[in-house]
Structure 1
């Protein structure tokens, strides 16, 4: 038997405002954090930015470097920390 959906405060679904740097990838409208992560991965895969020797590592291009705090590469886990710095309440 399926549980009814719980209404409440789901942080991943709450719309957030992206910074101008992040908006270059996600678009400038308010967006759920889960959609931000999805769009980031679409961008990373489309531009072949995963390290072929270590798929957990993302190599920054000109659009990602400002999001990643100026770093040339970050781990996929580190990416989420950097994304939170570019999301604010609308």
Structure 2
């Protein structure tokens, strides 16, 4: 009875390293410049995306802009309305609006 042919071992290729903006800086930590509308909320200096989101949430909580009946909804004041383009937004939409205002 003939035996099945032996499979030869193959080496798996290592994945190519990902390219980043600068060594040691990830995309989340790369400082981005806010638009003038967003700068009214977080300041004009370049910040990493994670800090921008944190500062926006500090602003929302400081000014009590969460809907008391539905904490997931943000009721925009004049400054946030300039960023969102509408009177309210959900917390899930927040990053979409912020991305439009970061360079």
Q: Tell me the TM-score normalised to structure 2 length.
A: 0.75
Quote the residue 1:15 is aligned against: 31
For residue 89 of structure 2, give the secondary structure of its aligned residue in structure 1.
strand
Would you say 1:72 and 2:81 are equivalent positions? no
Higher strand share: 1
Bigger Rg, structure 1 or 2: 2
* Residue ranges of structure 2 left out of the alignment (5+ in a row): 1-22
CA shift, 1:32, in A, is 0.5
1:1-90 maps to which residues of 2 (within 5 A)? 8=24, 10-69=26-85, 71-88=86-103
- Size of the alignment, in residue pairs? 81
> Could you say which structure has the greater relative contact order, defined with CA pairs below 8 angstroms and 6 or more residues apart?
1
Q: Distance in 2 between matches of 1:75 and 1:38?
A: 16
Higher helix share: 1
Runs of 4+ in 1 over 4 A off after TM superposition: none
Give the RMSD, CA atoms, in angstroms.
Answer: 1.1
